[in-house]
Amino acid sequence: MLKIGSHVSMSGKEMFLASAKEAVSYDANTFMIYTGAPQNTRRKEISDLNIEAAKKFMKLQDLTDFVVHSPYIINLANSVKPDIFELAVRFLILEMERSVALGSNLLILHPGSHVGEGIDKGIKQVIKGLNEVFSNNSECLIALETMSGKGSELGCTFEELARIYDGVTHPERLRVCFDTCHVHDAGYDIIHDFDGVMEQFDHFIGKDQIAVFHINDSKNTMGAKKDRHENIGFGQIGFDALLSIVHHKDFVEIPKILETPYIPHPENSKKSYPPYKFEIEMLRTKTFRPNMKEEIIAAYQ
């Protein structure tokens, strides 16, 4: 069965219950959350997340799969500022605990930025941080996200991710989050040769290590190294290529998460609307709707 959903929010009084309700409103059967704002470390207590009510609702809706994404500010690759590295380690451990409390055993993590110190030094620092994190007993796995290569970020090649796998003391606790926009922007031809790209991935890491896909189109040409998501079928990757990935026989049971941009109102810059219900329907029915953006604006009026 196709497992497809999107990023949803977790806020307000209902917290995690609101996340599950939002996912259901998009006809999703999986979803992704941040445990708080991705730009900071402010978090509510686990007891305030309304977990039990959410779990009851999810059971009624047969909504069993979800994943958690760590905040962007975690940078295990920083070897320049010890306080930032130490914060990243401490907070990642807490995020793993929160993920397990919510009911997920998978936490997605950007490998980090070497902040000008070079790939080798950055990877060494990531390995050091993950080894510290894995020294704590936790049921949670870390899914390293494939990155686009903008700036000094790590993880834009399969070789870099493989080096992290090879260096950690507990590689069995690592997985990969495969982001279509990022991989495309990094220079891999997933449009014309996805199977060939998968052969490369399998050689360096193993296809069985992909635990979740981020399904995003891209505003950029292949290899641009810019990381700008676009709505499904409206970018440079295109609907047909993304559709074939979503329905690929090797990844039927792997959750696919949409992170595509909201649709802005053409006359009111303060208003924008989620595309996910429409995009999920397109990918399920295998039918591209070229007027999707107009349909979304009309539906929310």
Annotated binding-site residues for Zn(2+) read 69, 110, 145, 179, 182, 214, 227, 229, 259
Rounded to an integer, what distance in angstroms lies between the CA atom of residue 176 and that of residue 178?
6
Q: Residues annotated in the binding site, as ranges?
A: 69, 110, 145, 179, 182, 214, 227, 229, 259
Q: Is 74 helix (H, G, I), strand (E, B) or coil?
A: coil
- What six digits make up the tokens of 30? 């999986």
Question: Which amino acid type is present at position 237?
Answer: I
Question: Which amino acid type is present at position 95?
Answer: E
Rounded to an integer, what distance in angstroms lies between the CA atom of residue 4 and that of residue 255?
6
Contact 221, 264 (CB under 8 A): no
- As a 3-state breakdown, the chain gives helix, strand, coil percent values, each rounded to 5, of 40, 15, 45
> Hey, what long-range contacts does 157-161 have (CB within 8 A, 24 or more apart)?
157/186, 158/200, 158/201, 158/203, 158/204, 158/205, 159/204, 160/111, 160/119, 160/123, 161/111, 161/204, 161/205
* CA atoms within 13 A of residue 81's CA, in its CB half-sphere: 9
Contact 14, 50 (CB under 8 A): yes
Contact 150, 226 (CB under 8 A): yes
Close Cβ partners of 255 (under 8 Å, ≥ 6 residues apart):
3, 4, 5, 30, 65, 66, 67, 211, 212, 213
